[in-house]
Amino acid sequence: MTEESTELLRSLIYEPGTPPKLHVLNQLLLPGERVYIEISDVQAAWTAIRDMQIRGAPLIAIVAVLGLAVDLQTHTRELDQLDPNDAEALLALLETKLDFLMTSRPTAVNLFNAVQELRDVCHRMVMIDDDEDDTNTTTARQRLLQAVTQHAEFMLERDVQDNKTLSQYGAHELLSKHSSSDEKLTLMTICNTGSLATALYGTALGIVRAVRDQQRLAAIIALETRPYNQGSRLTAFELQAEQMPGATLIADSMAAFYCQRHKVHGIVVGADRVCANGDTANKIGTYQLALVARAHNIPFYVAAPFTTLDVTTAAGQECVIEERPAHEFVQTSQAPADMNVWNPAFDITPAQYITGIVTEKGVLHPNADGTFDVRRFVESKG
Ligand code: MRU
């Protein structure tokens, strides 16, 4: 990414300090307007996530944890009411805020994993036994604030690094199937998995960037992504900002015909949750696209950070699929106002349609029966 496109596609601006400051780009206004809104407490973080001012599995998790760090340091009244050495009361307050954040959106596992990770770090840091450590002169309150802030900032940095690493793996995987160095690839994607869906760079769209950086991208075909148009509003904006070669927008209903008429070398999509058997929850329309890929013998890759792998969910039918309010569909489809609609935000792509799962720790390939051993991968790499 250039300096200019990095600025244009910055999903959030975080300024460390006491208190830290967080602003997020209101994606509902893109591509027409670029407006950053301030997140100064968990309520504002929850609303930005719930209303999809920010969206994308990794970004949801990051805004939640950074929002919490800002909240605790900006609105100190709740903390002031507690004894600064009452570790249990401080951790109870933390739990209340984490529980609230987890009610924002149900499908992306990254939020729940980030909450669990932060919870574990805070418990470890806050519960340090003063008797065991004579040099420890900090209060439990100071340790809590430090743990939340430092770990949230670490998660922010880690996301950018992980996206870049997984994108290199993904590009290598795709390009190794087409080793002639003058062959350029046409790739297809759905939804927005780029800089706007993450702290920077992106996952599936990050792979497209990495292929482009090796001068091997012929074209990137972006699906509009009905009903909320993350493809036409957000991915198209990213592709234009980067002047991506062959960037082309198609309606979702055109994907099969496009693949019949043109050579497509690979389809890359993101994920909101990868189950233990490889079944993958992602933006509604992904399953359909996987069927198109299979019908046309096109490799179909899921790209996601390690934190999207969920070995506690055995298979796709166990995933909670969020249903968005009817009006979001009715308005964007110009249907009559009182039309009855069904509006799931995600679907499940069965593992058997997935060629590989690309993470920052490597690419996972399926077993002979088409399922993935995600648990073994997590245990070996975790
Ligand atoms: O409803 P959204 O826009 O949050 O859905 C986003 C997706 O489905 C993405 O593909 C997924 O979160 C991965 S983003 C890197």
Say which amino acid occupies 190: I
Distance 194 CA to ligand 1 centre (A): 10
Q: So what's the pLDDT on residue 85?
A: 95
Residue 131 has pLDDT above 60, yes or no: no
Is the Cα torsion angle 43, 48, 54, 60 positive or negative in sign?
Answer: positive
Contact 228, 41 (CB under 8 A): no
Share of the chain above pLDDT 70, in %: 98
Q: So what's the pLDDT on residue 178?
A: 83
Q: So what's the pLDDT on residue 130?
A: 54
- The reply to whether ligand 1 has any atom less than 6 angstroms from the CB of 191 is yes
Say which amino acid occupies 67: G
**Residue-averaged pLDDT of the chain:** 96
Q: Which residues, other chains included, contact 188 with Cβ-Cβ below 8 Å and sequence gap of 6+?
A: 220, 221, 222, 223, 255, 258, 259, 264, 266, 267, 268, 289, 298
- Among the listed residues 71, 159, 162, 272, the single catalytic one is 272
Query: Ligand 1, from 167, 188, 193, 225: best to mutate by most atoms within 8 Å of Cβ?
Result: 193
Q: So what's the pLDDT on residue 382?
A: 84
Atom of ligand 1 nearest to the CA of 110: 12
Q: So what's the pLDDT on residue 179?
A: 74
- The reply to whether ligand 1 has any atom less than 6 angstroms from the CB of 67 is no
ipTM (interface pTM): 0.99
How far apart CA 219 and CA 284 sit, in angstroms, is 23
Contact 152, 68 (CB under 8 A): yes
37-95 tens-digit pLDDT:
999 999 999 999 999 999 999 999 999 999 999 999 999 999 999 999 999 999 999 99
Q: How confident is the model at residue 182 (pLDDT cuts 50, 70, 90)?
A: confident
Q: Which residue has the tokens 């046309």?
A: 296
Q: How confident is the model at residue 191 (pLDDT cuts 50, 70, 90)?
A: very high
How far apart CA 111 and CA 115 sit, in angstroms, is 6
In this predicted structure, which of 2-16, 48-62, 169-183 has the lowest mean pLDDT?
A: 169-183
Residue 196 has pLDDT above 70, yes or no: yes
The model's pTM is 0.96
Q: Which residue has the tokens 């996952």?
A: 203
Residue 133 has pLDDT above 80, yes or no: no
Residue 99 annotated among the catalytic residues of the structure: no
Q: How many CA atoms lie within 13 A of 245 on its CB side?
A: 16
